[in-house]
Amino acid sequence: MVSLLKPNSKSMTRAEDEAGGAVSTAVPPRLSVEQASYAYSVTHRGGLRFALGPVSFEAKSREIVTILGPNASGKSTLLKILAGLVRPLSGFVRLDGTEVGDLDPRTRAQKIALVQQESTLVFPLRVWEYVGQGRYPHGRNLRFESETDSLMVGNALAQVNVTDLRDRWMEEISGGEKQRVILARALAQQASLLLLDEPTQHLDIGGKVQLLRQLRKIVDQNSYTAVVVTHELNLAAEFSDRVVLLSNGKCQISGTPGEVYQPEILENVFHAPLEVEMRSSGRPRVSLRDVTEGKEDLGEI
């Protein structure tokens, strides 16, 4: 199937890049985050409830960036800043050269798709109707969907392998199926930037791997950029191009998985005795050390 889900920006394909020959191979970042920080309201004693930042990193098209860290490290707050839901107190977040906070809501929704941990249903919806909500930023009304809308919804369902669920009610499907349907709604938006908050939270290990493989394929085929929030070390190492490691509201380090996965840094952040093995693929693998006897593999860490 030829994908109809193309981002709004005019990114060159890999074939075009290769055909360019003498053309510069430098690709400008789609997402630029520079010294972005944020603080929630002060307490009754005058102290800050929570502060984040400053955080800096870049993401190009066809890249998956993982925001990694333990609970309460600032991952979801950073995702809200990237989505334009809150403005950073300092620094900036730019998407294709434009500050995210300067985009009007409709334009922002056309460019950025946010997949949150929970999606509450106000009223019963069938799967195709739920996915069709992703067409709203393009001025569509679900009751009067166009042929293009129908094609986009069908293609989005196919890309995450849930076409057979099309006519099921959302409340009738499993947690794993729902996670894929939520991703399909984001794809129907045709947004070039996908932001996913703990997308594998309710899945078993097989479901987690399947969903992330699908995301990897979708990002590559459509020249999307994805930012994924998670606390799972080995899945992040396997599927990420870049990692941003947070702890207590501070960015500890950012870079490729091989650069970020240093034992002393990970042990300090996750408060556990960890070993890091660099595999032949060039991707690191994390395991516990000195647990009872020998080391214990962390399949889902």
Average pLDDT over residues 51-76: 94
pLDDT at position 147: 82
11 pLDDT tier (thresholds 50, 70, 90): very low
pLDDT per residue as tens digits for the range 129-169: 999 999 988 875 555 567 888 899 999 999 999 999 999 99
Q: What is the pLDDT of residue 6?
A: 45
- Which one is predicted more confidently, 127 or 207? 127
Strands of the 112-115 sheet, one edge to the other: 112-115, 193-197, 225-230, 64-68, 242-247, 250-255
**Which run of H or of E encompasses 19?**
helix 14-19
CATH code for the structural domain at 57-256: 3.40.50.300
Determine the pLDDT at residue 8.
Answer: 45
**149 or 6, greater pLDDT:** 149
Does residue 175 or residue 61 have the better pLDDT?
Answer: 61
Q: Domain locations in the chain?
A: 57-256
Max Cα distance, the chain (Å): 64
Query: In the predicted model, is pLDDT for residue 55 greater than 90?
Result: yes
Residue 202 has pLDDT above 90, yes or no: no
Residue 2: pLDDT band (50, 70, 90) is very low
Q: What is the pLDDT of residue 154?
A: 94
Question: Which pLDDT score is estimated for 201?
Answer: 82
Q: Facing residues of 169 across strands?
A: 126
**For position 276, what pLDDT does the model report?**
96
Give the rounded distance of the alpha carbon of 257 from its chain centre.
Answer: 16
Q: Specify the pLDDT at position 296.
A: 53
Provide the 3-class DSSP secondary structure of residue 101: helix
At 12, the pLDDT band (50, 70, 90 cuts) reads very low
Dist CA 165 CA 129 (whole Å) = 11
Residues 6+ apart with CB under 8 A from 241: 63, 64, 65, 256
Q: Give residue 23's pLDDT.
A: 46
pLDDT at residue 237 above 60?
Answer: yes
pLDDT of amino acid 295: 52
CA distances to 52, 130, 142, 145 from 169, rounded to whole Å, are: 39, 9, 16, 19
Q: What is the dihedral of CA 169, 196, 103, 217, to 10 degrees?
A: -90
Look up the pTM and report it: 0.83
Q: What is the mean predicted confidence (pLDDT) over 67-76?
A: 92
Average of per-residue pLDDT values in the chain: 85
C-alpha 64/C-alpha 226 separation (Å) is: 5
47 pLDDT band, cuts 50/70/90, is low
CA distances to 193, 279, 297 from 294, in Å: 42, 19, 10
